[in-house]
Chain A
């Protein structure tokens, strides 16, 4: 059974840092690209970051570029999101999502339950 379990959420100070982790199990982790998607309270989904299966290519939404860093540890079957220079608008539930693909189109076939990040002084 595919499982994704986020951890590391909590209260962060404006300008501060937090690190999220996602532990993956039930599938061959090295065969899949991974993403982080967030959802502000009462709002829609916003894609945050992507990392390829080997960790050699990353992409970021403009709203987090230069502040957030996605990485993965294929030996530990985990993906992380280092969040720096936090802003109030980063407050959201952060989901880890596995990316599957059909041809050139990728989609998110499994999601974790999310980690809540609150940025406030």
Chain B
């Protein structure tokens, strides 16, 4: 089965740039989506189809997927960005949805 690998944690100081990676075999050929989940809340879509942002999501959130690693980049990080972040793809070989294990972003 298809596996998405995320680092368990990423730490960044306020105002700096956070990069959260999502690795998978030939992931560059897939559409990658990213969700933010704060404690006690449902996940929130922040990037879809590799690099598109839903309405209402700040431009500080961006995504890329050039090869074997997709990346969610959060510029000018704020305390309110502290959350768990999950990547998501659809695996055509199994016809199943796959989530990454999640990355906890800590704002120092």
Contact = CB atoms under 8 A, between A and B. Distances in A.
Interface of A: 35, 37, 44-47, 50, 59, 61-62, 95, 100, 102-109, 111-114
Interface residues of B, number: 26
Contact of B100 (A44, A61, A107): A44
Contacts of B102: 44-45
Interface of chain B: mostly helix, strand, loop or mixed:
strand
Interface stretch (B16-24, B43-51, B72-80): B43-51
Interface of chain A: mostly helix, strand, loop or mixed:
strand
Given A59-B95, A105-B90, A108-B88, A45 B48 contact: no
A106 B98 CA distance: 12
A105 B97 CA distance: 10
B62 to A, nearest CB: 16
Nearest to B54: A109
Given A59-B96, A107-B49, A107-B88, A45 B33 contact: no
Contacts of A50: 97
Interface string B91-108: 000011111111000000
Given A45-B43, A95-B42, A105 B31 contact: yes
Which residue among A45, A109, A113 has the maximum number of chain B CB atoms within 10 Å of its CB? A45
Nearest 7 CB-CB pairings of A with B: A105-B31, A47-B97, A107-B33, A111-B42, A44-B102, A45-B99, A107-B48
Nearest to B88: A107
Interface in B53-75: 54
A22 to B, nearest CB: 12
B2 to A, nearest CB: 12
A95 B42 CA distance: 8
Given A102-B31, A102-B49, A105-B49, A114 B42 contact: yes
A38 to B, nearest CB: 11
B43 A111 contact: yes
A50 B96 CA distance: 9
